[in-house]
Amino acid sequence: MAANSSTGSATEPPGLETQWREIDNLNQQQLRAGDSWYLLDKRWYDQWKEYVHAGDQNSSSYPGKIDNTELYEDLESYHLKERLSENEDFVLVPAEAWHKLLSWYDMMDDQPPLERKVVDLPSTVKVEVYPVEIYLCLSSNMESTVSACFSRADKIREYRLLMDRKSIWTLKNTAESRLWMRSTDTSSERLRNLNMTVLDACLSSGMTVIMEIRNADGTWPTSRPQIMRNSADEDSYRGPPGVCGLTNLGNTCFMNSALQCLSNTPPLTEYFLRNSYLEELNFTNPLGMKGEIAEAYADVIKQMWSGRHYSVVPRVFKTKVGHFASQFLGYQQHDSQELLSFLLDGLHEDLNRVKKKEYIELRDADGRPDQEVAEEAWRNHLRRNDSVIVDTFHGLFKSTLVCPECNKVSVTFDPFCYLSVPLPVSKERVMEVFYVSLDPTAKPTQYRLIVPKAGRVIDLCTALSQATGVPPNQMAVADVFNHRFYRIYQADESLSCILDRDDIFVYQLSSGCVDQEGEEVVMAIYMRERSHYRDYGSGSNSYSTSLFGHPLLISVPRAQCTREDLYQLLLKRLAPSSEGEERAEEEESSSEPDRGSSTEEGQSASGSTDTNSQDATDGDQSAGVEPSGKEEEDEDEDEEEEEEAASCAQANKRLPGRRRYTERQKKALFTIQAVNSNGTTERGMGEADAQPYIAIDWDPDMKKKYYNENEAEKYIKHQSMDVPHQQITVQLQECIELFTTVETLEEENPWYCPTCKKHQLATKKLDLWSLPEVLIIHLKRFSYTKYSREKLDTIVEFPLRDLDFSGFLLKKTVNSTEPPCRYDLISVSNHYGGLRDGHYTSYARNKDNGQWYYFDDSKVTYAREEQITSAAYLLFYQRQDKIRQPSVPPPVPSSSQPENHVSSQTHDGMDGASSCVSMETD
């Protein structure tokens, strides 16, 4: 079935239970390479699940046509948005399930299906949501490029086949060619192995592949396609060793940031530059990676410290990481700390000097002195783990567990490679909402509110009440999405179900939502525009409609829930004064002949009686309805009105309690129709529903003349939006204190008490015993619970020098041979942005010249110490007694240095400094 098929092509779906059973069974299919799966908007899919589980074909949760609008970058190119997350933005369904849903519900007009293939990649089989989009060009004309999409499982040879198949360029079949990959702005690399996959070649979206054709005389046009930057050839570049960027291969800033921090860790980098690793590569360790990670890392470090590159392409390293850790396959954004943890462990096992690990049974302290137990634990650790990573990064902490039932105390000493310290979690949350007043002349106002993080919707209303003076029980809160209500919240619902990116509207009601007698009804109002033509092809005689504008929530006395009363009430919400209507009726009745149409009173409410164009003239234009001069009706419009009048008259005969009267036939601004929650399926006005939904249907001509859509959707920013929320500022020492605070184990992770012989929720306390030469501190900015996911933007103030751990160490200095416990900062991994759209960079102090630099993928600039601020995520500290003085003087910035590399500003006048802190996403 075509993706943009009309509504009439949808088939009659089976029962709701059958629908759920069929789709759920199909969704259990295993992924098989080559199969097609389809992306579905998560909100539409959730709405469909709610609908089929409701068990009512007429339920208001009917999802309507499949709508993937929110997944597209725009509705012209239909390119998929970047960084969409499965089960958060979209769900994947197999082809058979997709075609069933499409045949039952149809799809929004013109939207293409989001079909994706299952690919077999190393260590995993997955649906390739984002194929690789590559630019292709000839070496003779690199300015003229064409784009093409490839799977990561495709072979490189597909590039040449594609060029031949599509006749992109006129090439002789016998023409010998070779391919180059533009690796940086300054160089290109030969793609020699055409049987290599796109994944193995580390080709990513946005990269360029250059085809070079051999000359007729057997020579090649160039030895290498030259890509110059300010006429400075990379082959002749000489710069400070280690001051080198890393090319972003596609969302790999997380990896680049971690690599820059490790690259600027002196003992580790010198170990590789001295080639010490060659003698210690462990090819037999079953926990290692056959030395491949260590060798790939060594290659990157040697290139970065050669002083011959502006930027290095870590594609081989990226490929190796993906081979041994499938979570890092592809080009999705990841956590730099997770990559660092994997890399430190991989380097340790690849370089472990212990070739055969012996089994060691760990002993509990059993009351022995801490010093004795700690020394025993460290000896046992070294019997199985001995590498440069242990030498540089491993420390020891004391773990104390106490059983809450028998008070059994268990003490162990465990090694660590980095400290993951918690951040104080705020009990408050900042939320932004749009408030819609009862006053139709008032535009919606955007407020920034502070609410309890664990609060409920009523707490949000209470906070807004303090700003507006409107009682909380006269507010209704809703999530507005795509011109409709995605969800209308109850007062006791948790605020955790509202995401920061949701558009939350709070509506003032004329009274409490629904009083005890049920005399007030809260109605949801949608704005719809009718098409000019009836949809005869669908088998009906109705007009198709499209939603626009912001919906409304209003409370209406139950006695006024008639079409005519609703019409007048809604008219006042759009145009606050109705005096003009009365004057206009008097003027028209004296100047125009009476048509003598005999109708029911209900015609006025349904839109067949004219509350003429002057309705809008006395209203404030901010409400969206505006005057547009006197309306002149032609014969076609008269015929249309009469046809509508006859149709409405027939419909209103079925409505009880209608008085018959004779009135001149006129045209209304809009008609009213009961609909479902999506504003699609028409419903009877008398049908019972927990939440009534009403659509205001505008004739296109009337909407054009009397409704100013741009004006209606404007809003005002309250002064609270101008006051930035004060971020919490804490000291690093406070985070370390939290790390050593007594806590109770969670139910998911109990401790087995050897005395009670059962699992217990024991209390646990961690204390630092000994620290390594280089101490990595991981600030736990990302909070994941069963209810929410968030990034903590708490500002952590940390010292650049003299970080003193003497107050945190249990092991006290016994003699002068003990190392000091003061540390200086040597590098920082930064994270900017939120959970899904963040960007990683790093600051690092060069070990040779002592200068700080800012690394943003391939760009490197000078940095001042005061720039190293609130975005810190990973902190690298080196013990002061191991820090050597710079071996060369710090560089003097020169204007001759290449653009986009080390900045030519002086330390006192760095115009580009601020731009280093304001980062774009990958």
Q: Is the pLDDT of residue 654 over 50?
A: no
CA proximity to 80, closest of 113, 34, 117? 113
CA proximity to 727, closest of 871, 555, 913, 893? 871
CA–CA–CA angle 283, 289, 294 (5° rounding): 85
User: If you average pLDDT over every residue of the chain, what do you get?
Assistant: 79
Q: How far is Cα 867 from Cα 825, in angstroms, rounded to an integer?
A: 13
What percent of the chain lies above the pLDDT cut of 90? 31
Pick the CATH number of 132-213 from 3.40.47.10, 3.40.50.720, 3.10.20.90, 3.30.1780.10: 3.10.20.90
Task: Output the 3-class SS for 777-793.
Answer: EEEECEEECCCCEEECC
Mean pLDDT, residues 332-340: 88
CB-based contact 667:641 (threshold 8 Å): yes
Supply the pLDDT for residue 123.
64
Pick the CATH number of 240-399 from 3.40.50.720, 3.30.1490.100, 3.10.20.600, 3.90.70.10: 3.90.70.10
Supply the pLDDT for residue 798.
93
Structure tokens at 910: 């760095």
Residues 6+ apart with CB under 8 A from 410: 364, 365, 400, 401, 402, 751, 754, 762
Band the pLDDT of 84: cuts 50, 70, 90.
confident
Q: Is the pLDDT of residue 221 over 70?
A: yes
Supply the pLDDT for residue 558.
84
Q: Is the pLDDT of residue 675 over 80?
A: yes
Which residue is listed with tokens 């499949």? 66
Mean pLDDT, residues 337-351: 95
253 is catalytic: yes
The burial of 305, by beta-carbon neighbours within 10 Å (0-12 exposed, 13-18 middle, 19 or more buried), is given as buried
Residue 320, H or E segment: helix 315-324
Supply the pLDDT for residue 634.
46
Q: How far is Cα 855 from Cα 861, in angstroms, rounded to an integer?
A: 7
Q: How far is Cα 358 from Cα 348, in angstroms, rounded to an integer?
A: 17
Mean pLDDT, residues 220-236: 54
Supply the pLDDT for residue 185.
60
Q: Please tell me the least confidently modeled range out of 56-70, 202-216, 509-523.
A: 509-523
Q: Give me the residue spans of the domains in the chain.
A: 16-119, 132-213, 240-399, 728-882
Q: Please tell me the least confidently modeled range out of 64-68, 113-117, 725-729.
A: 725-729
Q: What is the DSSP string of 23-61?
A: HHHHTTPPP-TT-EEEEEEHHHHHHHHHHHHHT-TT-TT
CA–CA–CA angle 694, 481, 625 (5° rounding): 55
Q: Quick count: other Cβ atoms within 10 Å of Cβ 128?
A: 17
CB-based contact 684:60 (threshold 8 Å): no
Mean pLDDT, residues 233-260: 86
Strongest mean pLDDT among 15-29, 210-224, 810-824 = 15-29
Higher pLDDT, 823 or 888: 823
DSSP 8-state symbol, 835: S
Band the pLDDT of 66: cuts 50, 70, 90.
very high
Q: Is the pLDDT of residue 625 over 70?
A: no
Higher pLDDT, 602 or 590: 590
CA proximity to 667, closest of 592, 589, 586, 611? 611
In 3-state terms, what secondary structure has residue 266?
A: helix
Residues 6+ apart with CB under 8 A from 331: 130, 204, 205, 249, 250, 251, 252
User: What are the start-end ranges of the H helices in 351-499?
Assistant: 370-384, 388-393, 457-468
Point out the catalytic residue in the list 753, 839, 901, 916. 839
Identify the CATH number of the domain defined by range 16-119: 3.30.2230.10
Band the pLDDT of 581: cuts 50, 70, 90.
very low
- Matching CATH topology for 240-399 and 728-882? yes
pLDDT in tens, 566-575: 888 888 887 6
Supply the pLDDT for residue 556.
87
Helices (H) and strands (E) in the chain, counts: 21, 43
What percent of the chain lies above the pLDDT cut of 70? 77
Q: Distance from first CA to last CA of the chain, Å, rounded?
A: 37
Supply the pLDDT for residue 530.
86
Band the pLDDT of 854: cuts 50, 70, 90.
very high
Supply the pLDDT for residue 818.
65
Pick the CATH number of 728-882 from 3.30.70.660, 3.90.70.10, 3.40.50.410, 3.40.30.10: 3.90.70.10
Mean pLDDT, residues 599-604: 36
Supply the pLDDT for residue 187.
67
Q: Please tell me the least confidently modeled range out of 93-97, 151-155, 680-684.
A: 680-684
Q: Where are the beta strands (DSSP E) in 621-692?
A: 660-662, 670-675, 682-683
Supply the pLDDT for residue 212.
84
Q: How far is Cα 593 from Cα 756, in angstroms, rounded to an integer?
A: 98
Point out the catalytic residue in the list 137, 244, 253, 735. 253
Band the pLDDT of 912: cuts 50, 70, 90.
very low
Supply the pLDDT for residue 68.
92
Structure tokens at 337: 């700390």
CB-based contact 313:184 (threshold 8 Å): yes
Q: Is the pLDDT of residue 99 over 80?
A: yes
Q: Is the pLDDT of residue 5 over 80?
A: no
DSSP 8-state symbol, 113: P
Q: How far is CA 628 from CA 450, 585, 620, 711, in A?
A: 43, 17, 13, 15
Higher pLDDT, 424 or 217: 424
Supply the pLDDT for residue 24.
92
The packing angle between helices 292-304 and 266-273, to 10°, is 100
Q: Is the pLDDT of residue 659 over 50?
A: no
Q: Is the pLDDT of residue 754 over 80?
A: yes
827 φ/ψ angles, rounded to the nearest 5 degrees: -165, 160
CB-based contact 566:697 (threshold 8 Å): no
Higher pLDDT, 84 or 618: 84
Mean pLDDT, residues 812-825: 75
Amino acid, single-letter form, for residue 751: W
Q: Is the pLDDT of residue 511 over 70?
A: no
pLDDT in tens, 345-396: 999 999 999 988 888 887 888 888 989 999 999 999 999 999 999 999 999 9
Supply the pLDDT for residue 12.
81
Structure tokens at 682: 């028409």
Band the pLDDT of 822: cuts 50, 70, 90.
very high
pTM exceeds cut of 0.85: no
Band the pLDDT of 223: cuts 50, 70, 90.
low
In 3-state terms, what secondary structure has residue 756?
A: coil
Amino acid, single-letter form, for residue 911: D
Mean pLDDT, residues 772-788: 81
839 is catalytic: yes
Structure tokens at 587: 């003027």
Supply the pLDDT for residue 546.
85
Q: How far is CA 99 from CA 43, 106, 107, 115, 118, in A?
A: 19, 9, 11, 11, 17
CB-based contact 706:613 (threshold 8 Å): yes
78 φ/ψ angles, rounded to the nearest 5 degrees: 55, 35
Residues 6+ apart with CB under 8 A from 807: none
Supply the pLDDT for residue 904.
30
Supply the pLDDT for residue 861.
93
Q: What is the DSSP string of 398-433?
A: EEEEE-TTT--EEEEEEEESSEEEE-PPPSEEEEEE
Supply the pLDDT for residue 687.
54
pLDDT in tens, 154-192: 888 877 677 655 545 555 555 677 888 886 666 677 787
SS percent in the chain: helix, strand, coil, step 5:
25, 25, 45
Strongest mean pLDDT among 196-205, 395-404, 687-696, 744-753 = 395-404
